[in-house]
Amino acid sequence: MNFQSGIYPDPNQRSSERYTRVFRPVVFRVEGCEGLCLVRNISAGGLMGDVPGDVQPGSVIEIDMNSAVQLNGHVVWSNQGQMGVHFDQPIDVQQVLQQIARRIIDGKVQRAPRLSVACEADLHLGPTGFRVPVIDISQGGAKIVADFLTVGQEIMLVVDGLDSRRAHVCWKHAGRVGLAFFRQIKFSELAGWAYERFRRLRDDHAPSNE
């Protein structure tokens, strides 16, 4: 991988800003679609991270570092599985790093980044199969709509484009169910799946040349 040290791929474009190396999976939003990025370094003015495909330079982007820290900016460049982002407003890097290091925020344990997906999946409960809505998904679990399930049950979930996952029901509320996977999804697999969804949606909404 062609690792860049800053948000600008051309050394002549880089400022004198100091970059802090991090290794942080985050959710980002571009054009109404969510994806996963592995942030490699961050400065007061921007960040650089790994993505599974190109993101259009100039795109407005929102980045959720965790549930309490959202950074806004635009994509400066994207090439060979990496992208550079320039923030709309300078940030206090040390303050952001301290916030994302917190395990509990507002009484809630911080979990792996979750993608809001609004898709469907096949759910197998013993010999019986169901088609269920998926609300969000992470490396470690998913939130689905399945009022017929009970806490503690074990199921098999098959999301189109991802390997099947055994999971158990860890909570239930108002028809929504939280699943914990017995085997986590690899970050690269989930990031690639999310990018393919983004690419298809982008192509579907692209203006026709006819």
Q: Which of 90, 109, 128 is the last residue of a domain?
A: 109
- Alpha helices (runs of H) in the chain, residue ranges in sequence order: 93-100, 187-204
- For residues 114, 76, 200, 80, the Cα torsion angle rounded to the nearest 10 degrees is -90
- pLDDT score of 6: 55
Residues (pLDDT < 50) of the chain are 1-5, 11-14
Which tokens is 167 given? Answer: 């999971």
Tell me, yes or no, whether 206 lies in a domain: no
- pLDDT score of 100: 84
Tell me, yes or no, whether 131 lies in a domain: yes
- pLDDT score of 9: 56
Q: Identify the DSSP state of 95.
A: H
CATH of the domain at 168: 2.40.10.220
User: Which of 114, 117, 112 lies closest to 159 in space, CA to CA?
Assistant: 117
Tell me, yes or no, whether 4 lies in a domain: no
Contact 72, 62 (CB under 8 A): yes
Burial level of 187, CB count in 10 A (0-12/13-18/19+)? middle
- pLDDT score of 47: 96
Number of domains in the chain: 2
Which tokens is 57 given? Answer: 């330079």
Phi then psi dihedrals of residue 190, to 5 deg? -70, -40
Q: Quick one: 172 and 128 in the same domain?
A: yes
Q: Quick one: 94 and 125 in the same domain?
A: no
At residue 125, the 3 state secondary structure works out as: strand
User: Which of 99, 102, 58 lies closest to 78 in space, CA to CA?
Assistant: 58
Q: Quick one: 137 and 166 in the same domain?
A: yes
- pLDDT score of 12: 46
- pLDDT score of 17: 65
Element (H, E) at 60: strand 60-64
> Model-level pTM greater than 0.75?
yes
Contact 100, 93 (CB under 8 A): no
User: Which of 61, 5, 44 lies closest to 198 in space, CA to CA?
Assistant: 61
Domain hosting residue 143, numbered range:
115-187
Predicted confidence (pLDDT) per residue in 72-89, tens digit: 999 999 998 999 999 999
